[in-house]
Structure 1
Amino acid sequence: MRTNFPHIRLRWHRVGSATAVTAALVLAGFGTAVHADATTSSKVTWAATPCATPKKTGELACNSLRVTGGTTAFQKARGITPKAADAATPSGYGPSDLQSAYGLTSASAANGSGETIAIVDAYNDPNAEADLAKYRSYYGLPACTSASGCFKKVSQTGSTTSLPTSDAGWSEEISLDLDMVSAIAPNAKILLVEAKSATMANLGKAVNEAVTLGAKFVSNSYGGSESSSDTSYDSSYFNHPGVAITVSAGDEGYGAEYPAASKYVTSVGGTALSTSSTTRGWTETVWKTSSTEGTGSGCSSYDAKPSWQTDTGCTKRMISDVSAVADPATGVSVYDSYGVTAGWYTFGGTSASSPIIAAVYALAGTPGSSDYPAQYPYAHTSSLNDVTSGNNGSCSTSYFCTATSGYDGPTGLGTPKGVSAFTG
C-alpha cells in the first residue's frame, strides 16, 4: 500500500477494508498537489480525480489528475491569463500540439481510418458521446457518432442498453481517454467498453469484450498494486496476440503497478512536455512532482520478462516500454460535463499517455496477427525521442527511476517520433 501523505491525499489499490476506503474517500477531497518548474510562470495546482481513489474494496484506481489553478505551460506559451473557475476555453495542449510534438502531423494520411481503438474504463459516462462531439467540433476534427458507426459504447458484456451505474469520477477519465484518441487518430472508430466496477475481473472482462468486438488497439488507464494473482490475470485478460494493449504506468512515482506490469501489454510512462527552440520544437523530461507523485516505473515482482526486453538490472518484467505527456503542468485539454461544470479542463497523469500511445499504434496500422505489439518499439529505437533527464524517485538501480540515454524505467525507450516505432 502506497500513500501520498505530503499532498494530504491517500490512494489505496486493492484495498483490504471498507473502513480504509471510507478514510481514503474523505481525505481525497482535501488535497491538491503543487507543481513548479521552468515550464510554468507560476505554480500549477491539481487534484486527483475521484476515480483515483477506489470506490469499493478491491477496486483499482484511474491514473488521471485535473488542474485546478495556476498557469500551465500551454497558457504561458500562448500568453493566456487563466481565470478563476473559467472552463469556457481550452487551456491545455490540443490535437495540433500533440501531433506536432510526436511527429504525427503527416505520419498517416488516413489518420487511423479503418481501425478501431477501444477504451476500457469502469462505470458509465452518460455524456460520453455528447462530450466527445464538443471536443471534436471545437478542434475541427471529423464527427464521430453512434449514428454514423464511428462511436460505440457498450458494457463489459457487449450490451448497448444495459450499462453500468453512472459515475462522475470515471466519467472524467472516460472524457480524457476519448479526447486523446481523437487528438491522435481522428479518423479511427472508437469503442468505449464500460466495466460494471473497477475490479480487475470486470475490467479484464471488458478488455476481452473489446477484442471480441474487433478492436486491435485497447487503452487501459488504471492500475493497482501488484499481487501473486497477476500472472493468472495475464492469461485470462491480456494475452491477445495481434492486439496492441496499452496500460498507464501509474501516477505515484517510482514503483510497479499492474496491469502495466503484464508481459503482454505496452506499459506507458509519463513526461513533462514543453516547447523549445530545438529542431524538434519540443522537449521532454521525466514527469515528477515529488517522490510520491509522478510517472510510475519499476521491476515487477511477479511477471516474467518478455523476450524483447533486454535490460539487465531487472530479471522480471520492467515498466515502462514507451512514454508520452502526463505532467498536469504541461497537460492536455479535455471537455467534460457529467458531475462537474460543463466545460474545458486540463488533465494530466499517465491516463493521458496510454490512449495517446494506443492511437499512435492505430496510425501505424494493424499489428501482425501473431505479434505482441509491445515488442515493436524495441526493434525501432532510433524512431523514438529518447528522454534523458529527470527521475521519478529514489531507487537502488539507477535506470529503474532515472532517465538515461537508451532504455530507462520512467520513460522506457522514449516518446513517439512518427509511427515507425509502432509497426512490426
Structure 2
Amino acid sequence: MAALALSGLALAPDAGARSAAHRLTTARSCAVSTKPGMMACQAVRVTSGADTLAKSSGSTDAAAAPSGWGPADLLSAYALPATGGAGATVAVVDAYDDPNAEADLAAYRSTFGLPACGSADGCFRKVGQSGGASPLPVPDRAWAEEISLDLDMVSAICPQCHILLVEATTSAIDDLGAAVNTAVSLGAGYVSNSYGGGESSADPFFDSQFFDHPGVAITASAGDAGYGAEYPAASQYVTAIGGTSLARDSSARGWGETAWGGSGSGCTSFDPKPVWQHDAECAGRTIADVSAVSDPSTGVAVYDTYGGDQGWEVFGGTSVASPIIASVYALAGTPSPGSYPASFPYAHPEGINDAAGGSNGSCSGSYLCTGLTGYDGPTGLGTPQGLTAFQG
C-alpha cells in the first residue's frame, strides 16, 4: 500500500500545521476495489510520524502512553459518561478473520484500565458470517487492522458493553450484509459497518435485504476518499458517519472540530431521501448524518499485532467514527420499537457539537463538501455533545 502525505488534505489549520511539521504519512489499510459489489475497509493508518503526536490520556502507565487519542480523550471531547451500556451488545461487522482479535482487545483495555472483556466472561464473542464460532473466514492482515480499530473504539466509548465481532466470508456486500443480519439475529442492538464501496442500482435491494432493521442503530462509514457518495452509508436505513479533525483548544468545551478532508459526503444516486432529512440540494439521500474524529493527524491509539505487526499504532479514517457513534447509541439506551435511529439527531440538534470549517472537495462552496455552520455534508449535523441527540 502506498503511503499518502497528509499535506494535501483539507485539515483544520492547526492539524495541517502539525502534519507538515511532523511529516506524517498514511496508508489505507484496504485497497479499494473497482469491482462492483466489493467493499473496502475505511481504516487509515499513520505509517510514519505517529511518535510526534499527542500521547493518550488515562494510560495505566503514563510514561508508556501510546500516541493518539485514548478513551479518556474521546469521552472528554464528546461529553460522554464513563459508565453505562451494561447489557447492551455492540456488533462490528468486518470481512475475513483476525486471529489475534481477542488478545489485542485485551491489551488495549488493560493499557487504559478498562474492565476485562473476553470470551471466557461472555463479554466478547467472535463468530463467522453464519453465526457460528467455526468455521471462520481466512485471515487477512488488512482487515485485521480494521477489526482491531473497531473493537478498540467500542471499548473506548462503551467499556461496559458486550462486543460481538461478526466476520464476513469475503468483502462482497452480499457477505457483509449477511453478517449484519447475523449480528441482529444474535441480539446486537447497535451495529457498526466501517467499510464502503461504489453505489449501484442494486442498492435499494441491498437496503431491504440487509439494513432495514427497525429499532436497531446501524452505522456506516461515509468514506475516506473525500467528496462523493459510497454505499452502505448511502442507505436510507443507516446513520451515515462523516469525519472530523479533532484538537484540544481554549474554548469552554476544550476541543475544536472541523471537517476532515478525507470524509465522504454528497448526494446519493439511488436511495430515496429519508423523511427526517430536509437539506435542499439533494433530491435523494444525503451523506452524512453525524460525524466523529477521523483525521489521521488527530487520530486514535489502536493496538494491533496481526495486521501491522507493530502493537501500538495511530489510525484515522471514518472507520474510527462509525464504531464511536454506534457505541454512543448504546450508551444512550435502547431505541424505541420500530424506530430508525438515524432520525434521532435530527430531532435533537441541541445535543450536537457543530463542526464548522474545512472542506473535503470542490463543490463551489456548497454545504455538500464544505464544513459550514449547521448541517453540512462532511460532518452532517455535527458530533456528539453527550447522549441527548442519540436517544429516541
Is 1:60 aligned to 2:28, yes or no? no
Matched, 1:264 2:240: no
C-alpha distance in structure 2 between counterparts of 1:248 and 1:308, whole Å: 19
Compared CA separation, residues 393 and 66, structure 1 to 2 (3 A)? same
Structure 2: gaps spanning 5 or more residues: 58-63
SS in 1 for 2:244: strand
Tell me the percent identity.
60
2:25 counterpart letter in structure 1? W
Q: Which residue of 2 aligns with 1:220?
A: 193
Q: 1:287 to 1:209 in 2, by over 3 A?
A: same
Q: Distance in 1 between matches of 2:52 and 2:260?
A: 14
Deviations 1:111-157 (A, max 9, x none): x1110000000000000000000000000000000010000000110
Name 2:378's counterpart in structure 1. Answer: 410
Question: Could you give the per-residue CA deviations for residues 242-280 of structure 1, whole angstroms, max 9, x where no partner exists?
Answer: 000000000000000000000000000000000000000
Question: How do 1:9-408 and structure 2 match up within 5 A?
Answer: 29-35=1-7, 37-39=13-15, 40-41=17-18, 42-54=21-33, 58-70=37-49, 74-75=53-54, 89-105=65-81, 109-110=83-84, 112-288=85-261, 294-396=262-364, 398-408=366-376
Once the 2 structures are TM-superposed, how far is the Cα of residue 90 of structure 1 from its aligned partner? Answer: 1.1
Q: Which whole-Å CA distance do the structure 1 matches of 2:191 and 2:303 have between them?
A: 21
Q: After TM superposition, which residue ranges in structure 1, 4 or more long, deviate above 6 angstroms?
A: none
Say whether the 8 Å CA contact 1:249–1:296 is kept in structure 2: yes
Compute the TM-score of the two structures, normalised by the length of structure 2: 0.93
Does the residue aligned with 1:242 lie in a helix, a strand or coil?
coil
> By how many angstroms is 1:43 displaced?
3.5
Native 8 Å contact 2:108 2:303 kept in 1? yes
In structure 2, relative to structure 1, the CA distance for the partners of 1:252 and 1:339 (3 Å cut) is closer
Q: Residue in 2 aligned with 1:9?
A: none
Distance (Å, rounded) in 2 between the aligned partners of 1:90 and 1:56:
37
How far is 1:54 from its partner?
A: 4.0
Q: TM-score scaled by structure 1?
A: 0.86
Compute the displacement of 1:165 (Å).
0.3
After superposition, give the CA deviation of every residue in 1:330-367 in whole Å (9 maximum; x if it has no partner).
00000000143341000000000000000000000111
Q: Secondary structure at the match of 2:241?
A: strand
SS in 2 for 1:280: coil
Determine if contact 1:121/1:221 at 8 Å carries over to the other structure.
yes
Equivalent residue for 2:60?
none
Quick one: which amino acid aligns to residue 102 of structure 1?
A: Y
CA contact (8 A) 1:72 1:329 kept: no
In the other structure, the counterpart of 2:61 is none
**Residue 402 (structure 1) shift:** 0.7
Write the letter of the residue equivalent to 2:91: A
| Contact 1:360/1:419, CA 8 A, preserved across alignment | yes
TM-superposed deviation, 1:55: 10
Equivalent residue number for residue 85 of structure 1: none
How many residues are paired up? 379
Cα RMSD, aligned residues only? 1.8
Q: Contact conserved, 1:46 with 1:328, CA < 8 A, in 2?
A: no
* More displaced stretch, 395-404 vs 381-390: 395-404
